[in-house]
Amino acid sequence: MQQQPEPVIHASFSGRVGITRVDITPPIGIYSRTWGAAKSDVAQSVHRPLTLSALVCSPSDGGRTLVLVDADLSWWQPLNVFHAFQQRLLKELSIDSADFIFGVAHTHAAPPLMVAEESLPGGELLNTWLEDIFQSTLAAVREALANQFEALVDWHHGTCQLATLRDLPEPGGDSLRVVCGYNPSKQADDTLLVGRVSDAEGKLRAVVVNYACHPTTLAWENTSISPDYLGTMRETIEKATSAVALFVQGASGELSPRYQYVGDTKVADRHGRQLAFAALAVLNDMEPPANELFYEGTVESGAPLAVWRHRPQEVSRELRSLRAMVELPLKDWQSAEQLEQQRQACDDRTLEERLRRKRDIRRSLGDGETYTLPIWAWRIGDAVLVGCCCEAYSILQRELRQRFPANAILCMNLCNGSIGYLPPAEMYDVDVYQTWQTPFARGSLELLIEKMAKMIGELLGGESP
């Protein structure tokens, strides 16, 4: 006897949600050099505004509230700049550190999040802008908390071809050097996870896009402030749905657009539309909110017809958060003081920028042999969000989704700070940017995957597979 087919069910959450969007575009003339090869140090125009969105979730009957911030920003330089920013926010909002995640989209066409040194042109504007971001975040979260509504959040998977593998063995090279750009010989992780936030009347209020792809369309020739592809992605989704579009950067350590490193903002807009159209396709492939699709039976007609119908779905109200630590081994780098001495003696503009960043990383980590990395994991109904401040390779999200196939697993790079890449162990045998940039030694990514799997298992009420 044939078994009854499994119904089509979306990972869902029922509770209260609040959403707010604010503009955080910095002024023209601000220090904005994020590429070693850049000739210009300051922003000369604005392509599209930078925005910051706050999404809060809480149980309908009261209790702990989770706060997620999605911002069109680059990265924190160094990590202690974020720590100071975070501590002020947690104190002002009376939020536990486990319940707060600040994510950056990682656009490379926005100013770095740093306290500017006096020698940097436009640095005075950078310092003022950092305070503006703090005040905007505070206002956005408070507004989202004050305007929560009964909501259903559900998730569905799709694909998008924007992301490609960006580890390319150097053509014509005799060494093991790998350059950072499109590698057509291997398939990238194209998984797209879309969240739908509907209110009690079934109206679409927000769309959450979780996708792994570096926003590196615009590079050293660009002198405009831009969210890269994220700006047009949001605009396209919002025009089609009249709902707020949010973005969660996935495990994109080795993923980026096929065509990138340009100064033409139209290319970034095209990339944004590509991701938006893919997300809209996923959205339109979903069953109605709080409904599952089940096999009702067979109707005899000209052919025997398998009839599937909708019926109400039981929706989870679980909302939990965890913050844990994992001890990662560090490379045997020089001290921050030694790196600063090298930087001051360097007259090569590109190398000087590399040394500045390496110095800042060393200052953040200290001079020890290991670093205790914090990890966040949230259960939102049947979905789990996990993330840390590193830039993990996509094997992290592929592995976790394989281990927990019954749940929607959102993986998040660059949340609550930014510090360095996490390549898989085999990448340490080749000369590749992500491996020599990172302060973390071989095996760190694998340790992180195991710790995250354990946290997911704990949130779901069982042991890690």
Peptide bond into 215 cis (omega under 30): no
**Both tokens of residue 345?**
């003696």
Q: Distance between CA atoms of 411 and 402, rounded to whole angstroms?
A: 13
pLDDT tens digits for 56-99? 999 999 889 999 999 999 999 889 999 999 999 999 999 999 99
On the question of pLDDT at 362 being above 80, the answer is no
**Overall number of domains in the chain:** 1
Answering whether pTM is above 0.75, one says yes
> Containing domain of residue 224, as a range?
11-290+315-319
* CB contact at 8 A, 388 and 448: yes
3-state secondary structure of 432: strand
- Those residues whose C-beta lies under 8 Å from the C-beta of residue 462, and which sit 6 or more positions away, are none
- Residue 4 inside a domain? The answer is no
Span 22-36, mean pLDDT? 96
pLDDT tens digits for 136-195? 999 999 999 999 999 999 999 999 999 999 999 999 867 779 999 999 999 999 999 999
* CB contact at 8 A, 70 and 211: no
pLDDT tens digits for 197-223? 999 999 999 999 999 999 999 999 999
On the question of pLDDT at 465 being above 50, the answer is no
Q: What is the pLDDT of residue 63?
A: 86
Mean pLDDT of the chain: 94
- Residue 358 inside a domain? The answer is no
Q: What is the pLDDT of residue 339?
A: 67
- Residue 80 inside a domain? The answer is yes
Task: Report residue 256 CA to chain centroid gap.
Answer: 13
pLDDT tens digits for 118-141? 888 999 999 999 999 999 999 999
Nearest 5 degrees, angle CA 162-CA 416-CA 397? 40
- Residue 352 inside a domain? The answer is no
Instruction: Average the pLDDT over each of 223-227, 335-339, 408-412, 415-419 and give the range with the smallest value.
Output: 335-339
- Residue 438 inside a domain? The answer is no
* CB contact at 8 A, 267 and 228: no
Q: Which of 279, 265, 161, 273 is nearest to 209 (CA)?
A: 279
**Both tokens of residue 259?**
């065509």
- Residue 346 inside a domain? The answer is no
On the question of pLDDT at 361 being above 80, the answer is no
User: Dihedral of the CA atoms 277, 280, 285, 289 (nearest 10)?
Assistant: 170
- Residue 397 inside a domain? The answer is no
Which percentage of the chain shows pLDDT scores above 90?
85
- Those residues whose C-beta lies under 8 Å from the C-beta of residue 155, and which sit 6 or more positions away, are 10, 11, 12, 193, 194, 195, 196, 382, 383, 408
- Residue 407 inside a domain? The answer is no
